[in-house]
Amino acid sequence: MAKAIEKKRIRLDDGSYADAQAPVIVSASRSTDIPAFYADWFFERLRRGYSAWTNPFNGVRMYVGYEDVRFIVFWSKNPRPLLEHLDYLRQRGIGCYIQYTLNDYEAEGLERGVRPLGERIETFRLLVERLGKGRVVWRFDPLILTDRIDMQTLLRRIEHIGDALYGYTEKLVFSFADIVSYRKVKGNLERAGIRYIDWTEEMMREFAERLASLNRKWGYELATCGERIDLSAFGIAKNHCVDDRLIVRLGYHDARLMDFLGATRHAMPQAGMFEEFGAEELPDGAIPLPDGTYAVIGRNNADKGQREACGCMKSKDIGQYNTCPHLCEYCYANASKESAVANWRRHQMNPHSDTITG
């Protein structure tokens, strides 16, 4: 069972005290693009030791303390602003990796607020050079079909980006846009005059087969995010975006983090005099580590609060809905473009507030 997030008493900016959640692993964030628009705010709050967060379901103000943070998973379409803050994470001994959504919907204007594609590819490479391969995960997410974007168009664009990232990434994560199930997304697209086409299971399988064929030239690990459909026949796994196994592989040297994850390290079995040691001799679920040892996770870290098909481990997401000024037409996190822009402007007026919205 996943370890619960502890609570601690923290001191606020005004000198008063409050109870706060004290996570070990932070997600920043599924709800908004913190690296692109709020990186300075986030790192200032990290230095001050806490931030405030409003529960989107009941409107209750809550606090998140950062004293115990050992690892951060960033989500972004433009993580370039992180570059100037990475040294601070190293000083604090906080690990990280980036879920980098790198799509190409430029011709259709579905992501009007994102940077040009060539610049985003350059940012990917710069981050890999600073952080190391494996710490920047490529996402083409979501895959959208419209009257102007067919399956072949998507594959052609994926191939262009995949070629540009060859040698810089190990994985491609994708999801199929589920528009009908999300009234907010459906309404946003219809108001924008975008004639979307919902994916059928048959279409998903055809796409998976064609993507797997394309991937023969790269050898990327292919994985879906939050999809119920089983595409393992095409060598496509179900992703764990906040991934305890990846966190162990990147942060195995941090004893406190390993303890939180329920992970233990072990020496590799020794081969006999006339035998070669094979990976098949490791226990099920073993994670080979760069120092020649391996780790085993002894508990289920799954986050039961996420969607049924989500494979993420438990973490604390510190983002806020209705705050992302990328203004993507298919966005599920903004109720409206107007509310997102208004909150962004409010933030700019008070950028050091304990909340994203100022």
Give tens-digit pLDDT for 210-250.
Answer: 999 999 999 999 999 999 999 999 999 999 999 999 999 99
pLDDT of 275 above 90: no
Instruction: Quote the CA–CA distance of 108 and 28 in Å, as a whole number.
Output: 28
Within a domain: 176: yes
Rounded CA separation 277/269 (Å): 7
Is residue 278's pLDDT more than 60? no
Residues 44 and 174 reside in one and the same domain: yes
- Pick from 204, 132, 176: which is nearest to 330 by CA? 176
**Is there a domain that residue 11 lies in?**
yes
- CA nearest neighbour of 247 among 314, 166, 292: 314
Question: Do residue 143 and residue 234 come from a single domain?
Answer: yes
Share of the chain above pLDDT 70, in %: 97
Q: Please tell me the distance from the alpha carbon of residue 5 to that of residue 2, in angstroms, as a whole number.
A: 9
pLDDT range class, residue 192, cuts 50, 70, 90: confident
What number of other Cβ atoms are within 10 A of residue 46's Cβ?
Answer: 20
How many CA atoms are closer than 13 Å to the CA of 152, on its beta-carbon side? 0
Determine the angle formed by the axes of helices 151-164 and 117-131, rounding to 10 degrees. Answer: 40
Q: Is residue 356 part of a domain?
A: no
Whether 57 and 97 map to the same domain: the answer is: yes
Burial 274-305 (b: 16+ CB within 10 A, else e): eeeeeeeebeeeebebeeeebbbbeeebbbee
Same domain (yes/no): 197, 103 = yes
Q: Do 295 and 332 have their domain in common?
A: no
- Residues 43 and 74 grouped into a single domain: yes
Separation of alpha carbons 358 and 354, rounded Å:
7
The angle at the Cα of 12, spanning 61 to 67, to the nearest 5 degrees, equals 95
Same domain, yes or no: 181 and 314: yes
Instruction: Please state the φ and ψ torsions of residue 64, each to the nearest 5 degrees.
Output: -120, 120
Is the preceding peptide bond at 29 cis, omega within 30 degrees of 0? yes
Say if residue 276's pLDDT is above 60: no
> How far apart (Å, rounded) are the C-alpha atoms in residues 105 and 288?
38
189 vs 314, which has greater pLDDT?
Answer: 314
Check residue 215 and report its DSSP letter: G
273 confidence band (pLDDT: 50, 70, 90): very low
184 has pLDDT over 80 = no
* Domain carrying residue 283: 243-269+276-302
Over residues 19-41, mean pLDDT: 97
User: From CA 288, how far away is CA 270, in angstroms rounded?
Assistant: 14
Q: Are 159 and 104 contained in the same domain?
A: yes
Residues 54, 20 share a domain: yes
Q: For residue 157, tell me if it sits in a domain.
A: yes
Whether residues 169 and 281 share a domain: the answer is no
Mean pLDDT of the 276-303 span: 87
Q: In which order are the strands placed within the sheet that holds 293-297?
A: 263-267, 293-297, 287-288
pLDDT at res. 280 = 58
The total of structural domains in the chain comes to: 2
Residue 198 lies in a domain: yes
Task: Please indicate, yes or no, if residue 1 is contained in any of the structural domains.
Answer: no
- Does residue 358 lie within any of the structural domains? no
Q: Same domain, yes or no, for 160 and 249? A: no
Residues 297 and 226 in one domain: no
